[in-house]
Amino acid sequence: AQSVSQHNHHVILSEAASLELGCNYSYGGTVNLFWYVQYPGQHLQLLLKYFSGDPLVKGIKGFEAEFIKSKFSFNLRKPSVQWSDTAEYFCAVGPRGSTLGRLYFGRGTQLTVWP
Amino acid sequence: GAVVSQHPSWVICKSGTSVKIECRSLDFQATTMFWYRQFPKQSLMLMATSNEGSKATYEQGVEKDKFLINHASLTLSTLTVTSAHPEDSSFYICSARRTGTGDGYTFGSGTRLTVV
């Protein structure tokens, strides 16, 4: 069965600290990978996505993620976080070629950045 | 960019009543819309997939008679929680898949439903 695991439920950092949020997935086929962010009171927004090609993808607001196929991982990174990065982050997997086109989400990681 | 409008953003209703949540794609046509439910501290769980003009496909364990989904046009899908009970209190989010772009998803802002 498909599943997405986010290892960290709540991460607390000081401004300028580096961030890495883990994401592993379980799926037997080819997938597209996504990271979404949800700021308090707002809707989910796409941070970045991976379909194919360079496994290191860069997204908005200085975020990047690396797809490591052998590890079924798609970890999110940012070298220096800001207070405004406080939000909940969701990793999602979409089976490629699926006629349904649904996404499978991890349970989310709450990031709190102290100024 | 693609925008999905979801409303109401929050609703409180009495147990036994029905609540309708709307999800509209404002500047694109969405052949497929997805309805997710998010419990506190948990992941988004897909409830159903709706395709314009056809019956929704429900995930296992989701009561189709309780969560009525209608996708009558390419820009509107509705979720009606019928005879709501306190255990239906949750955060419901829709997303729309943009036509012609197999991996383009846009999410609504979500609806916080509280059943008292």
**Cβ contact A6:A21 at 8 Å:** yes
A52 near B CB under 8 A: no
**Cβ contact B25:B4 at 8 Å:** yes
pLDDT at B28: 84
Distance from the B41 Cα atom to the nearest Cα atom in chain A, whole angstroms: 7
pLDDT band at A43 (very low <50, low <70, confident <90, very high): confident
**Cβ contact B110:B93 at 8 Å:** yes
DSSP A55: S
Q: What residue in A sits closest to B109 (Cα-Cα)?
A: A43
Average pLDDT, chain A: 91
The predicted-structure confidence for A46-64, as pLDDT tens digits, reads as follows 899 998 899 999 999 999 9
Show which of residues 5-24 on chain A sit within 8 Å of chain B, judged by CB atoms.
9
Secondary structure (H, E, C), B53-78: CCCCEECCCCCCCCEEEEEEECCEEE
Q: Which of B96, B48, B89, B17 is nearest to A43 (CA)?
A: B96
Select the residue of B32, B43, B107 nearest A43 (Cβ to Cβ).
B107
Distance from the B84 Cα atom to the nearest Cα atom in chain A, whole angstroms: 24
Which parts of chain B have pLDDT scores under 50?
Answer: 102
Task: Please give the residue that has the higher pLDDT: either B30 or A16.
Answer: A16
Tell me how far apart the alpha carbons of residues B43 and A15 are, in angstroms, rounded to a whole number.
27
